[in-house]
Amino acid sequence: MRKIILFLFLLLISQQLYAQKNIETRLGYSYTDPFEFSDEWQYLSTDIYLFNGSKFTRVLNELERGVKKPKKRYRSQLEYLFITAQLKNMKLFGNDEIVYPLYNFYVDQDKDNYKTQVSDNLEVVRIIDKMPLSSTQNNIDATINAKAITNDGGNEVFGLVAKQLVNLSKLTTPTSAVLSLVGEFGSLLSSCTSKREYRFSSTIRLYEGQDFDTRLHSVKIYVFVPGEVKTVTIKSARLADYLAKNPNKLERRMLEEMTNYKDYPYMVVANYKSLYKMDVLTGDEVTLDLIEKRKQKIQNAYEQQLVNDETYRQEKLFVEFLRVFAEMKQHLNIYRLNYRNNSPEINAKNLFAIIQEYKRLKATMDNREAEFKTNSTYKNIFRPEYQSILTNADLYLEADHNLKSGKLLVNTLRDLENDPATYNTPEKREASLAKLYAVELPRPDLLSASVEGEAIVRLKAKLEELQYNAVFEKEVKKLNDTPASDETIAVRNALQDKVSASNCLSCRDKVRDAVTAYNKRYESYKLREAVHDMTKLRNDAEQQVFTYLRWQLCFDNNLQATAVATTDNGLDSYYARIKEKSDAFAVSIKNLDAHTKQQPEIAQLQKVLDYTKELQRLLKEAEQNYNTLCSIDKKLCECPS
């Protein structure tokens, strides 16, 4: 490539240089759109409109003969009308000045006048399309020149082409845009040798086919006049209004109508700025493979100077964000595929892995918001894409109850970490603890091995300590100091009911310990009461045994006496049946007597209660047997007291 360009240069410098007569370009109008273009508007497009082309005939004739009076005729004749645009500070060309050949019109001579075959309706020429600007550039300076070139003084065109080819040969890695410009120089030389008209046609496009947000940045109008014309007046009111109302696209017809300038040819240079657009992704599209491709794509674009430093930095940071999202998606897939077949422990680990990545995703977004809160590139371009990915993550976590609870847990953690007001009352702490415990997670020792898990363990402990101190500590101390009795059992029950409604697990443990201690004291209290009642009842039972024995003896004597005095043999069965009831009474007395003689185990409440219960039963049984006998025949129970 460089050899070809140098060869062309050597060929060109061998040509004899011709003289030229300059046409002056006066800046007749300048407009800058009031829209505030932030750094992310980093691409420039430039359109060229040529109006009043037929008026070049007037310019050339006035250039040759003068505006006010005829001048001396020159021996040489005008042959070409050459119009160029000189661009400065273009990164694509190594920041060297580069000259675009826009038009080269052939000039005819009719008797004493020059004529140009320049149409008044030339199409717009886009000389650059979405050219990247550096971070410090606001636009690219363009200078419009028009030259009337004679036939015998030298050929300015050859000299210009030679210089530009030398500049281009310095580029070590010429792009397709550079090669297309070399082609334009070739077309220009060809038109000169064949005396044909030339028009620029190779727009430099670096983002072919991509949809950019584009709006007007500035407009300048250059008028082509002979040197004697020092001032040009273009009425700007209507034009300024039109430009302000049409920032996205200008129309040639409307530009001509609003400018309304008829005296000389003029060129409108319209500069547009374009907003950098990211490759928009949906959550389903994000994979680790796609992320690597995106990373390489932006790296290549940066190396080719197609994106500025800030955009490159933001793209790299967004790739990191996408990688966290992709990791979360992978854990989601594992969780979904294996949920029904895994043990609760494995499901808990899989779910926690999702929670980890989701929290990292949210934390990454927080960091970006804090770091780039005044960065327009982030706010206007990248933030919406961050938010879109986060929205996708939120939707993924709506798939089932566990995932919903996991998302709620992460949001609760973030609130607790960032805002103490979210846990400054018992009610708020209870609500937070309910959310933290809504998910089955791995054991605390496993959780503490990760940053996210350690935060969960730590915040649970902090909330529970605050909740215990505020809600349960005084009542636990009160219960510990309360003597156990039937009158104080309500204190224990109230505390148990209160803690059972709490989500504070450590509070439950501490209350349980206090209740256990109280229950032991209460059992001792009940044992003392039971022993006292048992002793009294036992003493009463011993006295009752003597009474029953005396009654039994009396009853048996009465029965014997009655039976002997009776001569009716038919009553034998009757008295025999009464004798059976009397024997049953005797057995119950014997059993009662035997039970009162036993030594009960007074160290255990239940043993004491069982002994007392049996003693009560035997007393009742003996009483019932005696009452049965007396109900049969009251005379048999008539005994001296």
**C-alpha dist (Å) from residue 492 to 468, 486, 512, 579:** 17, 11, 10, 56
Q: What is the pLDDT of residues 465-500, one digit of tens each?
A: 999 999 999 999 999 999 999 999 999 999 999 999
Q: What is the pLDDT of residues 546-559, one digit of tens each?
A: 999 999 898 888 88
Beta-strand runs (E) in 262-406? 266-275
- For CA atoms 180, 181, 182, 188, the dihedral sign is positive
Q: What is the pLDDT of residue 5?
A: 47
Q: Which helix (H) or strand (E) holds 121?
A: none
Buried b / exposed e across 129-162, counting CB within 10 Å, b at 16+? bbbbbeeeeeebebebbbbbbbeebbbbbbbbbb
Q: What is the pLDDT of residues 307-352, one digit of tens each?
A: 888 889 999 999 999 999 999 999 999 988 887 777 888 888 999 9
Q: What is the pLDDT of residue 153?
A: 45
- For CA atoms 610, 611, 612, 613, the dihedral sign is positive
Amino acid at site 200: F
Rounded to whole angstroms, how far apart are CA atoms 355 and 456?
A: 11
Q: What is the pLDDT of residues 285-315, one digit of tens each?
A: 889 999 999 999 999 888 877 888 888 999 9
In the chain, what are the domain boundaries?
2-275, 283-463, 527-637
Q: What is the pTM of this model?
A: 0.69
Closest of 538, 551, 532, 641 to residue 596, by C-alpha: 538
DSSP string, 487-556: TTHHHHHHHHHHHHT---HHHHHHHHHHHHHHHHHHHHHHHHHHHHHHHHHHHHHHHHHHHHHHHHHHHH
Q: Is the pLDDT of residue 463 over 70?
A: yes
Amino acid at site 282: T
Architecture in CATH for domain 527-637: Up-down Bundle (1.20)
Mean pLDDT: which of 99-108, 279-288, 422-431 is highest?
A: 422-431
Q: Mean pLDDT for the chain?
A: 82
Q: Is the pLDDT of residue 94 over 80?
A: no
Q: What is the pLDDT of residues 598-609, one digit of tens each?
A: 988 888 889 999
Six-digit token string for 355: 């929670």
Rounded to whole angstroms, how far apart are CA atoms 540 and 622?
A: 14
Q: Are strands 125-132 and 204-205 parallel, antiparallel or unpaired?
A: parallel
Count H helices, E strands: the chain? Answer: 20, 11
